[in-house]
Chains A and B, each alone.
Chain A
Amino acid sequence: MAVGSFDFTIAIGGEAGQGIATPGDILARIFVRRGLHLNTYNAYQSIIRGGHIFLYLRVCDEEIYTHGDKLDILMCLNQDTMDRHLQLMRPGSWVLYNEDNIKPGEAGDGVQLCPLPVTKLSVTRNRLSQNTMAVGSAAHLLGLDFQVLEESLTLRFQRQGQAVIDENVSVARAGYDHSVANFEAFDQTVPTGPKPLAVWSGNEALAMGGAAAGVKFYAAYPMSPATGVLHWMAQNARNLGIMVRQVEDEIGVANMVIGAAHTGCRAMCATSGGGFALMTEAVGSAAMMEIPAVFIDVMRAGPSTGVPTKTEQGDLWQVLGASQGDFERFIVAPTTPVDCFNTMPELFNLTDKYQCPGIVVSDLLLSEGRFSIAPDLIDMHPHIDRGELITKGSSTDGYMRYKDTETGISPRALPGLEGYVHVVATDEHDENSQLLSDEFTNPHKRRKMVEKRARKFKVAIEDIKPPELEGPADAEITLIGWGSTYGVIREAVEILAQQGVAVNHLAIKWIVPFHGEAITEILSKSKRVVVVENSFSGQFYRYMRSETGLSVDGHIRKYDGEPFIPHHIVDGVKAHLAEKIECFVPYQEAIT
């Protein structure tokens, strides 16, 4: 179902190495420059050459939160794509393919097969000609002037010189003209939005949010799907004065970040579940030494190496249980790309104030998806509050790093300052950093220090906004999701409303501290509650129950590696309304 008056999805399929990213990029740029909203999802494999890659590009004149349910143009770069996806095409859609080497399948009614005689039309023998030609044809099908495409191609290839530009423009022109002569175009012209939009991925939003928050040190070990944060940081390091390091392993990453953070840098790192597992001991050490540092876990399907290029929300319990002992930390799961950005300065202010680690939980869908964003929604100058930080030397004596204060927060002096010499320790220590095991292991001192650190968190929840219910109060069903499922649940709720089914939505962003009371209050008014999550065992539901004692009426869960799309949730809601079922698991129709 369409959201805006213009809601169109192009899918490009082929194998790794066939150059899917380039036509995707060219089309994406055309749309966002026109001010249209974009949401892309790339279904790919852990392979550099071969396999099957399927890129969804959804464009709309209104804001969109998912890559949607339907396909309007299918661009087949290989036979495999034709064989897998033709069956999904609905009336009024187009299938573009190179007729030289791809045999069309049996198309459904109203599906227009658009063969491109690539060799005949091509002026070159470049194997990527078919991609550019397909883009040319798609531009015609969408009613775009060729000039728009020409500009986009010129921009895309300008670094490679005029010859490459000319070649691509002429191949695209051939595809465009062939399409004009042979295929029937979309009956709607591509609209123009109020102003040009920018493009970013969730990973880029996390990195930019960190930079805006004042990150001065970033370290990483490459790991999908978190590597995008490293790439952005490395690219911008010199412009922004950020020390960016690629380290030997994630253990080194986390500890290096803590070392830099101790000297006063805002410092962070990003990884996926496996790398985060290696970081966990360090997370606890940051809590014990009371050093603020931020760790990002971009979840992929596990356990173990799992499905490296597929999405899942299966690390919640890992982050909840990360590191031995009983300690305080923040855990937050941003809900949208712009929320990824905004979460970073917010979290850095909190970890500075409470001098503790903060963990961000994203996933492949949110982090690697590419989305349009209005530049004026990005606040590159957010409020920065470093808490009780001492940055100037002094001649007064008697500084104690872990002074037992009313709030539990002890003023933090940075190394290098005169008058504040102190040791920080991962061993339990007293107010003056002296290790408890260096003398009689004093139970009274131990209790005092545990309570000092815990006291900091008594009030932390007041700094965090409680979740709010979206949608009608008298809904038939309340859907609860956490993190990246925000978008798909939101769209499903809109679709259901159009179909006369009233559903509301409670999206949870903050995992620790958890607004258990506020959530209980909201859910006490719900008729039925269904939890939506991208994991088999319902990790979020079990956590919510442990924090609130609440049980719910049903579940919608998916754990096949592919993200939810709106109709999965719509179908799930209808199934729960029709009969009492415990858990609805949608069927992933296309073998992407």
Chain B
Amino acid sequence: MATTMPATDDKPVIPLTARDFKGLVDPDWCAGCGDFGVLNALQRSCAELGLRPHEILTVSGIGCSSNLPGYFNSYGMHTLHGRSLAVATGAKLGNHRLHVIVTGGDGDGYGIGGNHFTHTARRNVDLTYVVMNNQIYGLTTGQISPTSTMGMKTKSTPFGSVEAPLNPITSAIMNGATFVARGFSGDVRHLTELMKQAIQHSGFSLIDIFSPCVTFNHDNSNAFFKERIKKLEDEGHDTNDWKTACEKAMLFGDTIYTGLFFQKQAPTLGGSEPVLEPDEPLGLQTLGLDKEQTKRIIERMM
């Protein structure tokens, strides 16, 4: 887990429930959208971990699922399409005490934001990335996404997609992510456990979640996943074994695995930066240089 926030007062800490993480407004997602299950799991996991809303920063991009920070009670940033991970990296380095949780969709994260996905994973930035993967562009009313299956018919592919989908799990492992899991919005209990582990993991954690779009993706529905999903932990999967993890992640037929595919411990981006050593986060430090610092700068110029 990221550095624990020091107690800010001496009031007794009252345990929070998932309800305390409910935002100011109710989601405007379509009835039956998988994202409800993801929001629910996130609220439960934060409550169960004993986090407080002010200790969390949720960062999202643009898309149906990226509206999540508005529905979640914590500090939030609803940023540009595809840029959530870059903004979140800056925010995490600016205040490394915050628990940074990034939320978004497959188009936002693997399409327009694909470059940041690669580099945030390899840098092992200490944040949790929750991707609601519905294999479609929903907010733009149904076009293919980077995870749409071949042959899928959408408004932009009326004769069927001819492109192979991206595999978020194998991509993340190859890019150097240190916690890589897959969840299903239809199994909130399992998803909650995965999220708790991800938030507690030190480093970049990805949870790619099948979160079916009930309006625009009729190929990959709740029923589609329910009859195929098997849990890795039920089969004694070794989470240190990246090769087997990749093999299992690539199955997308009669069996589709969920659970924790891969985990390892590695230095995080902030953890190896001496400028983050002072207890006070960068963003809260008093500004201005001291005489010694100034002297060193001027001496170099002479």
Contact = CB atoms under 8 A, between A and B. Distances in A.
B90 A257 contact: yes
Contacts of A433: 24, 70, 76
Given A264-B94, A423-B77, A255 B86 contact: yes
Interface in B18-43: 23-25, 28
A355 B52 CA distance: 27
A427 interface: yes
Contact of A260 (B8, B83, B93): B93
Contacts of A240: 289, 293, 297
B176 interface: no
Contact of A259 (B55, B76, B91, B288): B91
B83 A255 contact: yes
A496 interface: no
A236 B296 CA distance: 9
Interface stretch (B115-123, B152-160, B181-189): B115-123
Interface residues of B, number: 62
Interface in B59-101: 59, 62, 67, 69-70, 73-80, 83, 86-95, 97-98
Greatest chain A CB density within 10 A among B5, B91, B98, B119 is at B91
Interface stretch (B164-172, B201-209, B239-247, B274-282): B274-282
B116 A252 contact: yes
Given A267-B90, A422-B75, A432 B24 contact: yes
Given A217-B282, A249-B115, A418-B8, A281 B24 contact: no
Interface in A274-293: 281-282, 285, 289
Contacts of B73: 421
B302 A259 contact: no
A380 B297 contact: yes
Interface string A533-544: 000000000000
B296 A216 contact: no
B12 to A, nearest CB: 14
Contacts of B95: 263-264, 414-416
In this complex, the member of B78, B90, B95, B288 whose beta carbon has the largest number of chain A beta carbons within 10 angstroms is: B90
A423 B289 contact: no
Interface in B245-278: 273-276, 278
A265 interface: yes
Interface string B126-142: 00000000000000000
A438 to B, nearest CB: 6
B282 A265 contact: yes
Interface stretch (A63-71, A193-201, A453-461, A552-560): A193-201
A573 interface: no
B283 A414 contact: yes
The prevalent SS among residues of A at the interface is: mixed
Q: How many of chain A's residues touch chain B, expressed as a range? A: 35 or more
B97 A416 contact: yes
B297 A211 contact: yes
A248 B94 contact: no
A265 B284 CA distance: 7
A198 B28 CA distance: 61
A216 B282 contact: yes
Contacts of A438: 25, 28, 67, 70
Interface string A386-425: 1000010100000000000000000000111111111111
A439 B28 CA distance: 8
Contact of B302 (A248, A375, A417): A375
B287 interface: yes
B301 interface: yes
B119 A248 contact: yes
A238 B298 CA distance: 16
B8 A393 contact: yes
A216 B285 contact: yes
B114 to A, nearest CB: 10
A228 interface: no
Contacts of B118: 248
13 contacts: A198-B302, A216-B94, A251-B115, A251-B116, A255-B86, A262-B91, A263-B94, A285-B80, A380-B297, A415-B54, A415-B57, A416-B97, A424-B78
Of all A-B residue pairs in the complex, the 6 with the closest CB atoms, nearest first, are: A259-B90, A214-B287, A264-B283, A263-B94, A423-B76, A263-B283
